[in-house]
Amino acid sequence: MEIKFTEESLKKLEEAKSRYPTNDAALMSALWIAQEQFGWISNEIMLYISSLLNVPFERILGVVEFYTMYNKQPVGKYHLQVCTNISCMLCGGYDVVDYISKKLNIGLGETTPDGKFTLIEAECLGSCGTAPMMQVNNYYEENLTKEKIDSILTKLSNS
Amino acid sequence: MSDFQPIILKDIPDFHKIEVYMKNGGYGAFKKALKMKPEDIIDEVKKSGLRGRGGACFPTGMKWSFMPQKTEKPKYLCCNGDESEPASFKDREIFEKNPHQFIEGTLIACYALGIKTAYVYIRGEYYPWIVMLQKAIDDAYAKGLIGKNILKSGFSVDIYIHRGAGAYICGEETALLNSIEGKRGLPRVKPPFPANFGLWGCPTTINNIETLANVPPIIENGGEWFSKIGEPKHPGSLLYGLSGHINKPGIYELPSGTLLSDLIYKYGEGVKDNKKIKMIIPGGSSMPPLTADEIDGLKMDNEHLKAVNSFIGTGGIVVMNEDTDIVKVIKRIAQFYYHESCGQCTPCREGCGWMLRILKRIDDGMGRQADIDLLNDVANNIEGNTICAFGDAAAWPVKWAIKKFLPDFEQKVRENVKIPIANKVHALRLVSLE
Ligand SMILES: Cc1cc2nc3c(=O)[nH]c(=O)nc-3n(C[C@H](O)[C@H](O)[C@H](O)COP(=O)(O)O)c2cc1C
Ligand code: SF4
């Protein structure tokens, strides 16, 4: 597959570039736009962005590796990121991990065979008052209980 | 429940909408500021005694006065909404409930400091809140409150959001600058300080979101008014965050110096299942923990917390009940710092790994008495020996937990010794020792 930004992505990139005095400052935005379009950041995508922004490939690789939210590998359609940091841990964050892991039959960092779900453990997501919680793609699911997890997973499985 | 009238999280329906905000006097302080001399604004903020809400409690007025006035270079304001310190979730509340007051504070700061561009750095995970703030910014642009020649004053400013991508260290102000420049978030060696050499080498001020949200009421009601709220040395309201084993977790805006016991029992409605408290983290995971004995009479502001060897930090309070396994909690905190160290300084990069491995060993029942001393040693060797304050943040919880909860560590070392039996001689010696 040829790696190319869609018209919409290119427009977003131009808009991002206009916010900074230098082109290379738009790198993080470019990576977000790429992740939105492709789902993850491959070497080919980094090379493509390198040519778009005129930034060396090595610098892009460094940035992608540094920030945890850029997916270095393909992830499932729904990226379940369960917080296990202190406030969530005290309220059962690890039980949430175990429960989802058993239910979907995948370990941490794994994806279900149908490519629907990837499960990971996340650091504090700033949702301590509504613990335990997880982030599903861009959105937060808070005050989790077994029943709530069941209904979230059922809804996502059917979509 | 309290007579205190919130300054930021006001109880007005739909306050996040620009029409409601303006109907209640919103952007009035900015209009007033536009008629003031920039120096007078800075003086008013100095008079207010406002201290940074990002963790370090640095006096805001003083920070602003460090910005050079005459310079050829553009100047920048960075609004720090990285909010990645575990147990902190207050800035998100501002984005959601009162984004315009934060925007107004940003506008006033830009006007006072002669800044034409402000970047709001928001952690990547806060996508829904980025959308909310962007909407508020767009609405303010549409009303001519941001942009060119605002309200025909001749003053122009742009406000942009920069989305982070999951790195706690980008909350550190110089790492944040690198991140906005599109680089890895590695903290810079100071000096030079950002006020002289910040974004793209230009004069830059970095302020927390809550700090900036406090500016409009200060301009509206005067610095003196603000300085009389709460504790004189750390005035104003604080957005306290309650989490952990507490009946009513959440963000509570109350005057600085509110009693910790009131926060837990009055506002938080006590500990879950009526249990006793074992440990409290007073202001985010980096801050030295407190014992239950230290709660009574303790006022929550930086000066009073210093007296018990801790700090207010971001005001994120974690309550842990009597059944909490302290070693496990500290291990989890150490795991966080190990994961988030940027790796530039050897004491931090290696030390965080060592602390985690030793804590794991103790928690797994394979620890020895000497491990506790070693752990303390490693923590002491990180503290003060690094480029940025992350090193201290990683060392403090470990060091102070050992100091204040030594019996918990010793118990784990003594009781569950499961030393792996590598050879028979060793095993025999162990048996004969018993
Ligand atoms: C490791 C580390 C993480 C930090 N994270 C944040 C953060 O998430 N938000 C924040 O406002 N300040 C954070 N700070 C403090 C900033 O460096 C800086 O002091 C602050 O943003 C200044 O704003 P203020 O003076 O208004 O508090 C952090 C500091 C360190 C050392
Ligand atoms: S103290 Fe840690 S996080 Fe800070 S610069 Fe050094 S290695 Fe990086």
> Is B80 found in the same domain as B203?
yes
Residue B174 shares a structural domain with residue B64: yes
Predicted confidence (pLDDT) per residue in B297-307, tens digit: 999 999 999 99
Whether B209 contacts B102, CB under 8 Å: yes
CA A70, chain centre distance (Å)? 6
> What is the average pLDDT across A49-66?
98
Same domain, B159 and B207: yes
- Rounded mean pLDDT of B232-249? 98
User: For A78-157, which CATH class?
Assistant: alpha beta
Interfacial residues of A (vs B; Cβ cutoff 8 Å): 19-22, 24-29, 31-32, 55, 59, 62-63, 66-70, 84-87, 89-91, 122-131, 135, 138-140
Cα B228 to Cα B212: distance, rounded to the nearest angstrom: 19
Give me the total of CB pairs closer than 8 Å, taking one residue from chain A and one from chain B: 137
DSSP secondary structure, B120-165, as one string: EEE-TT-HHHHHHHHHHHHHHHHTTSSBSSGGGSS--BEEEEEE--
Has residue B333 been placed in a domain? Answer: yes
Question: B15-37 pLDDT, tens per residue?
Answer: 999 999 999 999 999 999 999 99
How many domains does one find in chain B?
3
Contact assignment for B179 to A126 by CB distance below 8 Å: no
- The stretch B236-250 carries a mean pLDDT of 98
Residue B5 within a domain: no
> Cα(A129)–Cα(A126) distance, rounded to whole angstroms?
8
Looking at the CA of B388, name the nearest ligand: 2
What separation in Å is there between the alpha carbon of B353 and the centre of ligand 2? 13
Nearest CA in chain B to A56: B183
CATH code where residue B63 lies:
3.40.50.11540
Query: Edge-to-edge strand order for the sheet containing A78-83?
Result: A117-122, A78-83, A134-136, A139-141
Whole-model pTM: value is 0.96
Identify whether the C-beta of residue A35 lies closer than 8 Å to the C-beta of residue A70. Answer: yes
Distance from CA of B276 to the nearest CA of A (A): 15
CB atoms within 10 A of CB B312: 26
**Which residues, 6 or more positions from B244, have their beta carbon under 8 angstroms from its beta carbon?**
A86, A87, A90, A91, A128, B87, B317, B318, B319, B320
Nearest CA to ligand 1 atom 5: B171
B318 near B290, Cβ under 8 Å? no
B1 lies in some domain: no
- Residue B1 has what pLDDT? 54
* Domain termination residue (choose one: B304, B321, B338): B321
pLDDT at B416 over 70: no
Is B62's pLDDT higher than 80? yes
- The ligand whose atoms approach the alpha carbon of B287 most closely is 1
> Bridge-partner residues for B238, per DSSP?
B254
Beta bridge mates, B161: B120
- Tens digit of each residue's pLDDT (9 = 90 or more) over B339-390: 999 999 999 999 999 999 999 999 999 999 999 999 999 999 999 999 999 9
In a domain, B430, yes or no: no
- pLDDT, residue B415, reads 76
Distance from CA of B151 to the nearest CA of A (A): 22
Residue B359's domain is classified under what CATH number?
A: 1.20.1440.230
pLDDT (tens digit, 9 = 90+) per residue, B262-298?
999 999 999 999 999 999 999 999 999 999 999 999 9
pLDDT exceeds cutoff 70 at B426:
no
Tell whether B208 and B242 lie within a shared domain. Answer: no
Q: What is the pLDDT of residues A99-128, one digit of tens each?
A: 999 999 999 999 999 999 999 999 999 999
Domain edge (last residue) among B286, B321, B356: B321
The per-residue pLDDT for B427 is 42
Residue given tokens 């909408």 in the structure block: B17
Mark whether B187 and B76 lie in a shared domain: yes
- Last residue in a domain, options B262, B293, B321: B321
Do B198 and B250 reside in the same domain of the chain? Answer: no
Looking at residue B434, what is its pLDDT? 36
Q: Tell me which chain B residues have a C-beta less than 8 angstroms from the C-beta of A63.
A: 182-184
Cα(B255) to ligand 2 centroid in Å equals: 33
Structure tokens belonging to residue B21: 């905000």
**A142: which residues sit within 8 A by CB, 6+ positions away?**
A127, A130, A131, A133
Query: Given CA atoms B361, B365, B368, B370 in this order, what sign does their dihedral have?
Result: positive
Q: Cβ distance B176 to B206 under 8 Å?
A: yes
Q: Is residue B317 part of a domain?
A: yes
pLDDT tier for residue B417 given thresholds of 50, 70 and 90 = low
> Residue B245 sits in which domain range?
237-321
Q: What is the pLDDT of residues A23-39, one digit of tens each?
A: 999 999 999 999 999 99
User: For residue B432, what pLDDT band results from cuts at 50, 70 and 90?
Assistant: very low
* B384 and B348 fall within a common domain: yes
DSSP string computed for B333-362: HHHHHHHH--S-SHHHHHHHHHHHHHHHHH
Residue B423's pLDDT band, with cuts at 50, 70 and 90, is very low
Spell out the SS3 assignment of chain A: CCCCCCHHHHHHHHHHHCCCCCHHHHHHHHHHHHHHHHCCCCHHHHHHHHHHHCCCHHHHHHHHHHCCCCCCCCCCCEEEEEECCHHHHHCCHHHHHHHHHHHHCCCCCCECCCCCEEEEEECCCCCHHHCCCEEECCEEECCCCHHHHHHHHHHHHHC
Q: Across the interface, do A90 and B324 touch by the CB < 8 Å criterion? A: yes
Answer for the pair B299, B262: CB distance below 8 angstroms, yes or no: no
Contact B86 A28 (CB under 8 A): no
Answer whether residue B418 is part of any domain: no
CATH number, residue B252: 3.10.20.600
Please give, rounded to a whole number of angstroms, the shortest distance from the CA of B421 to a CA of chain A.
30
Q: Which pair of tokens denotes residue A3?
A: 């790696």
Both B36 and B166 in one domain: the answer is yes
Give yes or no: residues B165 and B296 share one domain.
Answer: no
The answer to whether the Cβ–Cβ distance between A129 and B241 falls below 8 Å is yes
**Residue ranges per domain, chain A?**
7-66, 78-157
Residues B138 and B259 in one domain: no
Q: What secondary structure letter does DSSP report for B214?
A: T
In a domain, B7, yes or no: no
Closest CA to A120 of A110, A112, A132, A133: A110
B425 found inside a domain: no
Q: Which atom of ligand 1 is nearest to the CA of B209?
A: 11
Whether the complex's predicted ipTM is more than 0.90 is answered with yes
Count of CB atoms situated within 10 Å of the CB of B62: 12
One domain for residues B37 and B93: yes
Judge if the upstream peptide bond of residue B420 is cis by omega within 30 degrees of 0: no
Query: Same domain, yes or no, for B101 and B195?
Result: yes
